[in-house]
A and B are shown apart, each in its own frame.
Chain A
Amino acid sequence: NAGVTQTPKFRILKIGQSMTLQCTQDMNHNYMYWYRQDPGMGLKLIYYSVGAGITDKGEVPNGYNVSRSTTEDFPLRLELAAPSQTSVYFCASSLKWGVVAGGYTFGSGTRLTVV
């Protein structure tokens, strides 16, 4: 199984540009999440989804959008990139709310730099 796959691994954006970070999982997990990781700050939840067609805001949703048209895919959209969005982005999925079956499965991350 591939698990959680994120693309691209690296990206440099200019201020004001837009892009979509792709995330797909093949474990038939209903729950999917987007986190950003800033140095020394741990993981902050951006958006999450409990199933196809359902999304909700996390701690730091401003500047981002998501959609969940299928169980497998959960893309994250940046509409107007800003330097404050320079970070490493992780997608994760889980069978339930992260307790059963040992928590979340993470992708390998997308390192985004906005200049």
Chain B
Amino acid sequence: GQQLNQSPQSMFIQEGEDVSMNCTSSSIFNTWLWYKQDPGEGPVLLIALYKAGELTSNGRLTAQFGITRKDSFLNISASIPSDVGIYFCAGQREGAQKLVFGQGTRLTINP
């Protein structure tokens, strides 16, 4: 099955920095979701996007549904230690039913 191409695979940043990550596909998607996985836990939904061009925020997190419908972006502003974890994108391809997941971006923050 196809997986999304998520980048970067890992990030090492200083506390207070902004973070950007993205997810791309060769197929058109109808829905994009962003999840966060804390160490030792399952993924938890952060933001859901349902329309091309949509920009949605959840606190310091902002995600966008790309205009081409083949990509999505997640930004975290002013990172704090509790932002550490693995961030996954997920999407529903046009004409498909099940979600497909990206490989994840592991975020590490130096205090």
Enumerate chain A interface residues (CB-CB to B < 8 A).
Answer: 4, 33, 35, 40-45, 48, 58-59, 90, 92, 97-99, 102-109
Chain A residue with Cβ nearest B6? A42
B92 touches A42 (CB 8 A): no
B1 touches A58 (CB 8 A): yes
Interface string of B85-107 (1 = CB under 8 A from A): 00010101000011101111000
Chain B residue with Cβ nearest A4? B42
Enumerate chain B interface residues (CB-CB to A < 8 A).
Answer: 1, 3, 6, 9, 30-31, 33, 35, 40-45, 48, 50, 88, 90, 92, 97-99, 101-104
A107 touches B42 (CB 8 A): yes
Residues of A within 8 A of B104 (CB): 40, 42
- Total cross-chain contacts (CB, 8 A): 64
* A42 in contact with B101 given A99-B31, A99-B92 (CB within 8 Å): yes
A90 touches B42 (CB 8 A): yes
A40 touches B103 (CB 8 A): yes
Instruction: Give min CB distance, A36 to chain B, whole Å.
Output: 11
Cβ 8 A contact of B98, one of A4, A40, A97, A105: A97
